[in-house]
Amino acid sequence: MLIAEGDVLIVIDVQNDFCPGGALAVADGDTVIDPIHNLSVKFDHIVLTQDWHTPGHSSFASAHPGKNPFEQIEITCGMQTLWPDHCVQGTRGAEFHPALGLARAELILRKGFRKEIDSYSAFFENDRTTPTGLGGYLRERGLKRVFVAGLAYDFCVGYSALDAKRLGFEAIVLRDACRAIDLDRSVEKMEAEFARAGVVPMESSALLG
């Protein structure tokens, strides 16, 4: 597959808290960095996202007395998985992994900064209606095809790809440049959503040949 001028690589949440030693570490999360670097040279356009939570964010188990991480609760916009405190604004855990070297990125999009609602997707808050502005940004830049990599495959990467497709972009997930949490069959469920929506999972080798 050839990369075109209208293509963009969106690198999701390669932050310290999602990598080994972090507060919400994805297994082998830092191993996405080398494939992302290898891919990045093919793209003229790169966007980074950064989870950017307030202290006491409503998605944190610590904000709900008696609740534990990975339990679920009902909130206004549906079911919310409760997480350990992570990616709190201004902390080391919220910083990009120090090995991530993508200074060419044209945009850093921060998400999850509204205290009362989480934001898995790079395009919408978890109410599925409040936009982050990324869709409009890509359209105004004339970008039409989205390649998604990073953390985690079955949450923020997956929801970003699904929302890109919902907004009319072509959406491709680069599987070997992602790692998953795999909480309660979340990988299987996300891949079923990809199939229904027309999101294309692909190995990065298809772009590097």
Whole-number Å distance between alpha carbons of 86 and 91: 9
Of 7, 13, 30, 51, which residue is the catalytic one? 13
Give SS3 for 183: coil
**Residue 13 is among the residues annotated as catalytic for this protein:** yes
Q: Given the structure tokens 């919220």, which residue do they identify?
A: 94
Is 182 tagged catalytic?
no
Strands 107-111, 46-51: pairing kind: parallel
Strands (E), the chain: 7-12, 46-51, 72-75, 78-81, 107-111, 145-151, 170-179, 200-202
Per the annotation, the verdict on 144 as an active-site residue is: no
Q: Which of 19, 85, 111, 154 is catalytic?
A: 111
> Which among 156, 163, 165, 178 is annotated as catalytic?
156
Active site residues: 13, 111, 156
